[in-house]
Structure 1
Amino acid sequence: MTLLSRRSTLALVLGMAATPALAQIDTSRASAFIQAAGTELVGVINNTAMSADQRRSKVADILRRSVDIEGVARFVMGRFWRQASPQEQQEFLSLFEESLVKNLASRFGEYQGVRFEMGRSQSRTDDDALVSTIVTRPGSAAFNLDWRISDVGGQPRIVDLIAEGTSLRLTTRSEYASVIQRGNGQVSALITALRRQLGR
Structure 2
Amino acid sequence: MHDFNRRTLLGAALALTATGFGTLGFPGPALAQADIGRAANFIQTTGQDLVAAINDQSRDIAARRQRVSAVLRRAVDVDGVGRFIIGRWWRQASAQEQQEYMKLFEETLIRNLSARFGEYQGVRFSLGRSQQRTEDDVLVNTIIERPNSAPFSLDWRVAEIGGQPKVVDVIAEGTSLRLTQRSEYSSVIQRNNGSVAALLQAMRGQIQQLAAREQGR
Secondary structure of the structure 2 residue equivalent to 1:3: coil
Show structure 2 runs of 5+ residues with no match.
Answer: 23-29, 210-217
* Residue number in structure 2 paired with 1:13: 12
Q: Does the CA contact (< 8 Å) of 2:8 and 2:19 recur in 1?
A: no
Secondary structure of the structure 1 residue equivalent to 2:208: coil
* Residue number in structure 1 paired with 2:3: 3
- Once the two structures are superposed, what CA deviation does each residue of 1:84-104 show, in whole Å capped at 9, x if it has no partner? 111111100000111111111
Q: Distance in 2 between matches of 1:26 and 1:16?
A: 23
Q: Does the CA contact (< 8 Å) of 1:127 and 1:150 recur in 2?
A: yes
Q: Distance in 2 between matches of 1:109 and 1:16?
A: 19
TM-score, normalised on structure 1? 0.95
How many residues are paired up?
Answer: 199
Give 1:19 deviation, angstroms.
Answer: 3.6
- Once the two structures are superposed, what CA deviation does each residue of 1:6-29 show, in whole Å capped at 9, x if it has no partner? x43322102444141511111000
Which 4+ stretches in 1 moved above 4 angstroms?
none
Q: Does the CA contact (< 8 Å) of 2:9 and 2:18 recur in 1?
A: no
* Residue number in structure 2 paired with 1:37: 46
Q: Distance in 1 between matches of 2:8 and 2:138?
A: 23
Secondary structure of the structure 2 residue equivalent to 1:193: helix
Q: Distance in 1 between matches of 2:91 and 2:205?
A: 23
What letter matches 1:68 in structure 2?
D
What letter matches 1:10 in structure 2?
L
Q: 2:74 aligns with which of 57, 65, 74?
A: 65
Show structure 1 runs of 5+ residues with no match.
Answer: none
TM-score, normalised on structure 2? 0.88
Q: 1:109 aligns with which of 107, 111, 118?
A: 118
Q: Does the CA contact (< 8 Å) of 2:155 and 2:170 recur in 1?
A: yes
Q: Distance in 2 between matches of 1:3 and 1:40?
A: 27
Q: 1:145 to 1:41 in 2, by over 3 A?
A: same
